[in-house]
Chain A
Amino acid sequence: MFESITQNLTDALGNFTRGKLSEGNIRDGMAQVRKALLEADVNYDVAKSFCDNVTKQAVGDQVLKSLKPGEQIVGIVYNELVNLMGPVDHSIAIRRGEMAIIMMCGLQGAGKTTTCGKLATMLKEQGATPMLVAADLQRPAAIEQLRVIGEQVGVPVYWEEAGSSTPVKVCQNAQKAAKKEGCNVLILDTAGRLHIDDSLMKELVQIDNKLMPHQALLVCDAMTGQDAVNSAKAFNEALELDGVILTKLDGDTRGGAALSVKAVTGVPIKYIGVGEQLDKLEPFHPERMAQRILGQ
């Protein structure tokens, strides 16, 4: 496991005799760890404070006396990454007799609409009766997209003509429609928006206030770089997120955004998207993510 980073670390730790690995050696070694994290797109400040913490731990005497300090440090790094990204709560709270409302939000193109379909698929399999809500009145054919997805999953989609309604109205009317149809989960597909777009962020807060969703989930593209912290922070400040879903992890991205987002918001990553098809949603596993970030 972690061959390349272990090798780099061993090189960086240099020549030492047993028991003589110095703080200086460790710091050189941690520079390699930091480089690996930055190459995986972990945010600069997050990577820095992470490495500072690990250095403090690694300077303990066990490491200094260890036969294979490279491996030991990688072990500490791995464990710390896992601790930081976990523990994971995969639940999407649905109480008997109550309608659960899940609101998806995020930047443009992150994968919200697709993920609505994936969640509906998963919840339906678990016996729930979800309804999808087309609250994106902005993107051309966003409503049609959700309707096609609803048909594929086999769940109803609530929608209104984009020209004559507002996202808040759509959501409120959907709630009534869901009651009538006996649906017990409402999944709101909101339009993509920039976290610095004040009026659209206000609109989101308005939906949040009116509908009081049980879960506000941020959908985040796993290929995001240094900026992941900025958008996640802003969405969390506006909505008090309950969870994050990291999409497009089926490619070769190292996915450092996972660490960044968790570190700055404290919000757990619940699920990951691993494909375009509607069954490609998996629970998030911090261990696998830690391995991925370290470039296993």
Chain B
Amino acid sequence: KSGEILDEAKLEEFHRGLITTDMGVEASEEVVESLREEFGGRTVDPDAVWENVKNTLKEILKGDGSTNWDPENPLSPLNMATEGPTVILVSGVNGVGKTTSIAKLANYLTKSGKKVVLAAGDTFRAAAVDQLTKWSQRIGCEIVRKDPGTDPASVAFAGCDHAVQIGADVVLVDTAGRLQTQQNLMQELEKIRRVINKRIEGAPHESLLVLDATTGQNGISQASKFSDAAGCTGIVLAKLDGTAKGGVVVAIRKKMGIPVKYVGVGEQLDDLQLFSPDDFVEALLEES
């Protein structure tokens, strides 16, 4: 196969392809710089160079391999409690897909024979509790809910309490959408986390940040500030069924080391998949 000279124009093409994924200027330039150093001015096979880039990105997303990942078991990446109920706290900015992702996870868990309790911790948004209640009815799992305006920490506490009482396996705590710059609301999230921990030792065992795949560079600030408040242990990348690539998770993984655990690929209960770094990177740089 005849090659091409990797000149500045060609490098610019690579740069465009990377930026278009939303992985950001810093990470993109780093990749381009390494290509310039290694292959600049030389005759290369562009496909082979892309392979090289893909491998680098896959390595970044795999991290140190400390996340359990068994393609046969959709629950494998979750940190489960050794004893008593596992608590999964779910947070993120407004409208990203928190409530829907909780429903999808609850569905997985219920189908695999776990006893699940949902805690309707979004007591703020109009009909947020109704939304989660409808999902719980479809899935056939329990839900703990209180009146609109109730302190969300008390709902989270009640959810954990109920789970202990009935011997449930997993509690999924929904929270209201909030922007990471709203300090009072971020403190509220910290409080939810503390209260959960008071009721169940070691909880939350899993703190999932939901990111919208269409999000650009603000995702970095989201990951950083939500981690401060909620101690995020994993990311659910929702809405990956659109044309957005969700590349900001590469920058997040590089900067903060938070692994992506699941991807959302639709609005229905089955539309949640285990995150696969290989598949993700292939889709990331498809047609670029």
Contacts and interface: CB of A to CB of B under 8 A. Distances in A.
B127 A145 contact: yes
Interface stretch (B130-138, B193-201, B254-262): B130-138
Contact of A221 (B127, B180, B212, B242): B212
A200 to B, nearest CB: 10
B16 A226 contact: no
Nearest to A37: B25
A252 B181 contact: yes
Interface in B1-42: 16, 19-22, 24-25
Contact of B216 (A139, A142, A224, A231): A224
B241 A194 contact: yes
B134 A140 contact: yes
A224 B248 CA distance: 11
B131 A248 contact: no
B267 interface: yes
Interface centre among B95, B96, B131, B241, by most chain A C-beta atoms within 10 angstroms, is B95
Contacts of B73: none
B126 A225 contact: no
Interface in A167-219: 194-196
A124 interface: no
B94 interface: yes
Q: Is the interface of A mostly helix, strand, loop or mixed?
A: loop
Interface string B143-163: 000000000000000000000
Contacts of B182: 251
A108 interface: yes
Given A194-B241, A256-B216, A111 B94 contact: yes
A141 interface: yes
A251 to B, nearest CB: 4
A222 B267 CA distance: 22
A148 B218 CA distance: 30
Contacts of A194: 241-242
B218 A251 contact: yes
Contacts of B131: 139-141, 144-145
B93 interface: yes
Nearest to B217: A41
Interface string B212-256: 101111110100000000000000000101111100100000000
Nearest to B135: A140
B181 A225 contact: no
Given A231-B242, A251-B180, A39 B217 contact: yes
B22 A225 contact: yes
A44 B214 contact: no
A139 B267 contact: yes
A231 B243 contact: yes
Contacts of A228: 214
A105 interface: no
Contacts of B243: 195-196, 227, 230-231
A35 interface: yes
Contacts of B134: 140-141
A45 B17 CA distance: 11
Contacts of A109: 94-97, 212, 239
A194 B242 CA distance: 6
B218 A223 contact: yes
Nearest to B28: A38
B93 A223 contact: yes
A138 interface: yes
Contact of B127 (A45, A148, A251): A148
A70 B217 CA distance: 26
B95 A110 contact: yes
B96 A144 contact: no
B39 to A, nearest CB: 21
B125 interface: yes
A45 B16 CA distance: 8
Given A227-B242, A250-B179, A252-B181, A148 B214 contact: no
A44 B16 contact: yes
Contacts of B126: 113, 144-146, 148-149, 152
B214 A248 contact: no
A8 interface: no
Contacts of A146: 126
Contacts of A226: 19-22, 216, 244-245
Per CB-CB distance, the 9 closest pairs between chain A and chain B, nearest first, are A225-B216, A109-B95, A41-B216, A227-B244, A148-B126, A251-B179, A145-B127, A144-B127, A141-B130
Interface of A: 35, 38-41, 44-45, 107-111, 113, 138-142, 144-149, 152, 194-196, 221, 223-228, 230-231, 248, 250-254, 256-257, 276
20 contacts: A38-B19, A38-B25, A39-B25, A40-B217, A44-B16, A107-B214, A108-B239, A109-B97, A138-B267, A139-B131, A144-B130, A145-B128, A146-B126, A224-B214, A226-B244, A230-B243, A231-B243, A251-B180, A252-B221, A276-B94
Given A39-B25, A109-B97, A251-B93, 12 more contacts: A40-B217, A45-B16, A110-B95, A140-B131, A141-B127, A145-B130, A196-B242, A223-B215, A225-B244, A226-B216, A227-B244, A257-B216
Interface of B: 16, 19-22, 24-25, 93-97, 124-128, 130-131, 133-135, 177, 179-182, 212, 214-219, 221, 239, 241-245, 248, 267
